[in-house]
Amino acid sequence: MGVLEKVTEPSHLRALSEQELTDLAREIRDFLVAKVSRTGGHLGPNLGIVELTLALHRVFDSPYDRILFDVGHQAYVHKILTGRQAGFDVLRQRGGLSGYPSRAESEHDLIENSHASTSLSYADGLAKAYLLRGEDRHVVAVIGDGALTGGMAWEALNNIASVKDRPLIIVVNDNGRSYTPTVGGIADHLNALRTDPRYERVLDLVKRSLSRAPLVGSPLYDVLHGIKRGLKDVMAPQGLFEDLGLKYVGPIDGHDRPQIEQALDQAKGFGGPVIVHCVTRKGNGYEIAEQDEADCFHSPSGAFDPLTGTPVAAPALKWTNVFRDELVEIGRQRSDVVAITAAMRHPTGLDAFADEFPDRFFDVGIAEQHAVTSAAGLALGGLHPVVAIYSTFLNRAFDQMLMDVALHRCAGTYVLDRAGVTGEDGPSHNGMWDLSILQVVPGLRIAAPRDGARLRELLREAVAVQDGPTVLRFPKGAVPADLPAVERQDGVDVLVREGEHDVLLVCVGAMAQTGVDVAARLTEQGIGVTVVDPRWVKPVNPVLLDLARTHRLVVSVEDSGRVGGCGAALGVALADAGITVPLQVKGIEQRFLDHDSRAALLAELGLGAQDLARDIVERVARIDDAPLVTGDHDPLPRS
């Protein structure tokens, strides 16, 4: 029986010997590689935080003491130690564990967001609440160096440092990466420490100081702050935090569990806000991950061979791949096109552009707000920025899109990867909000390609727009086979025209193939159908209004929210034009979706071809035989 099998709750860790704890760390890494190699998920970040998580749960009493993980990429070890080992067999699948902390899973999980740089604000409020309620509970925020590039983290630090007697421990898990190497001035400070030749001597000094210190308080922190001013020149980040008035402990070897425990014990007893700086290695203990230059096996998307790291299934052509290649071609033809990412060079497909045009590529760190307004500045300076961001993360920069970009009519293209239902990554990663949020932005144009050919086509159309911003959105996963149009009417692609003008099916982007499948079912029922792909979904193309006038029923289908989405905008346009044809809006109800595959979630939402066809047939059956609108067509046949 291994040590891991004996641990079903954090309290069990305190009874283990040093040798058992060493064995446990090895077993946890073996467990992670074995499980994630079958399901996919976040591997590299969790391999790098094993000893740190063990130390946290040995020093603090979770869930009474609260441990908050920023982003949650590195929470798998925490899940293992809090009794959720069995759920890893179906990680990120229906009925299995979420890929992030989840309140529904465990009392040990208080927050479950997967958007970065938020943990310090949660911790600040939580510590205030416990202090006001007279509860002697510790709050620990675990934040990566990548998340520290987000402005929200520094807003929180500014407030945390203002009250000296509020107990709050901030553990900086510094592995030099978010997805890829962390960039920016903060990263430079931390990197200066890691790469300084005196670094190992600093680690040794801290370790010896911790082990000798019998008391907690200011004398200890004078030592740990670098033997007054002399060591401060070596420890660049210390000065950074000290200037805010925060006590600093570190740097700590993040894979030396006893040393981490000593540091956390001292911080726990200080009585005020303390930074504990742990230097870790992403992918630690799994050579394949350690040597992966792209992202240290940050998040393998599917099953892989644990011995070689190669995917089990042949990799499919992804939407991101098509965007990557086309942008490089555009960059070769237009020297004014520049690219921006928020710490996601590889995941958003900007790596090839960055390699070929390094002077025209900007990684701003986990700072979507800054990315968008910086893009506005680039546009004002005469360039055309292409900003590639996950759809879910653009939510954070809505004000910038509205007031900094659109108000100034700044040309630029905002490429939203992983739009619509993303599935396995859970509620905070579904890109189901963008069409609803962005509909209210004046002057913004939104394109939604249905296949790879349209992605390339619409990307070129988008970067050609010079009088305002454009958005291009596409989903996660494999790009489908190209779906040709039977004709194009002033920018709107007609995909199917069968029978009488009974039903007009308006399908947004990736839902186009579903619309074609629905049309086949409707024609079998004797119902005439026209399927169109608007391509540009904002503003509403007048062609759609003309088509609606000649049909008995209009149905819009989108993998985004029903409230305020494309269907809702179409409804307003129809009403404004005095067109009274019935409209059905098919989209996602405004709720947070559980983790599951995209296909399963769309089926659950009634957005599969079979359910859509059934609903349309039933609606057709309820329409009176007499025409509801003027048009050259026969009465609608009954089904």
Catalytic site includes residue 9: no
Instruction: Between 391 and 177, name the one with better pLDDT.
Output: 391
List, in order, residues 6 or more apart from 89 with CB less than 8 Å away: 35, 38, 39, 96
Please write the tens of the pLDDT for every residue from 282-336: 888 777 787 777 667 677 767 777 888 777 777 788 999 999 999 999 999 999 9
Q: What is the pLDDT of residue 286?
A: 78
Of the candidate ranges 245-249, 382-386, 402-406, the one whose mean pLDDT is the lowest: 245-249
**95 burial level (CB within 10 Å; 0-12, 13-18, 19+):** exposed
Catalytic site includes residue 368: yes
Tokens for 115? 């958007």
Q: What is the pLDDT of residue 239?
A: 55
Q: What is the pLDDT of residue 225?
A: 40
Residue whose tokens read 């390699």: 355
Instruction: Between 566 and 97, name the one with better pLDDT.
Output: 566
Of the candidate ranges 362-376, 470-484, 618-632, the one whose mean pLDDT is the lowest: 618-632
Compute the C-alpha angle 626/627/629, nearest 5°. Answer: 150
pLDDT category at 91 given cuts 50, 70, 90 is confident
Distance CA 301, CA 422 (A): 12
Global confidence as pTM: 0.82
Please write the tens of the pLDDT for every residue from 380-390: 999 999 999 99
| Most confident region among 98-102, 419-423, 446-450 by mean pLDDT | 446-450
> Is the C-alpha dihedral spanning 552, 556, 557, 561 positive or negative?
negative
Instruction: Between 354 and 304, name the one with better pLDDT.
Output: 354
Catalytic site includes residue 107: no
Which residue of the set 66, 84, 247, 282 is catalytic? 282
User: pLDDT > 90: what percent of the chain?
Assistant: 52
Q: What is the pLDDT of residue 633?
A: 40
List, in order, residues 6 or more apart from 474 with CB less than 8 Å away: 319, 323, 416, 417, 419, 448, 449, 455, 509, 510
Helix H or strand E encompassing 66: strand 66-69
- DSSP states of 219-237: HHHHHHTTTTTTGGGT-HH
Of the candidate ranges 20-29, 192-201, 247-256, the one whose mean pLDDT is the lowest: 192-201
Instruction: Between 165 and 152, name the one with better pLDDT.
Output: 152
Q: Where are the beta strands (DSSP E) in 474-541?
A: 487-489, 492-498, 503-507, 529-533, 536-538
Tokens for 144? 């990566």
Tokens for 552? 């008995």
Q: What is the pLDDT of residue 227?
A: 35
Q: What is the pLDDT of residue 151?
A: 82
Of the candidate ranges 42-56, 283-297, 543-557, 578-592, the one whose mean pLDDT is the lowest: 283-297
Q: Do residues 228 and 177 touch, judged by C-beta distance below 8 A?
A: no
Instruction: Between 231 and 122, name the one with better pLDDT.
Output: 122
List, in order, residues 6 or more apart from 445 with CB less than 8 Å away: 462, 465, 468, 469, 470, 471, 536, 538, 539
Which residue of the set 112, 326, 368, 461 is catalytic? 368
Instruction: Between 62 and 208, name the one with better pLDDT.
Output: 62
pLDDT category at 634 given cuts 50, 70, 90 is very low
Q: What is the pLDDT of residue 242?
A: 64
Of the candidate ranges 97-101, 394-398, 464-468, 586-590, the one whose mean pLDDT is the lowest: 97-101
Residue 420 bridge partners (DSSP):
431
Please write the tens of the pLDDT for every residue from 460-482: 999 999 999 999 999 998 999 99
- DSSP states of 522-557: HHHTT--EEEEE-SEEESPPHHHHHHHHT-SEEEEE
Which residue of the set 58, 247, 345, 396 is catalytic? 396
Please write the tens of the pLDDT for every residue from 130-147: 998 999 999 999 998 888
Residue 272 confidence (pLDDT) above 80: yes
Residue whose tokens read 């619509």: 420
Residue 238 confidence (pLDDT) above 60: no
Residue 235 confidence (pLDDT) above 80: no
Mean residue pLDDT of the chain comes to 85
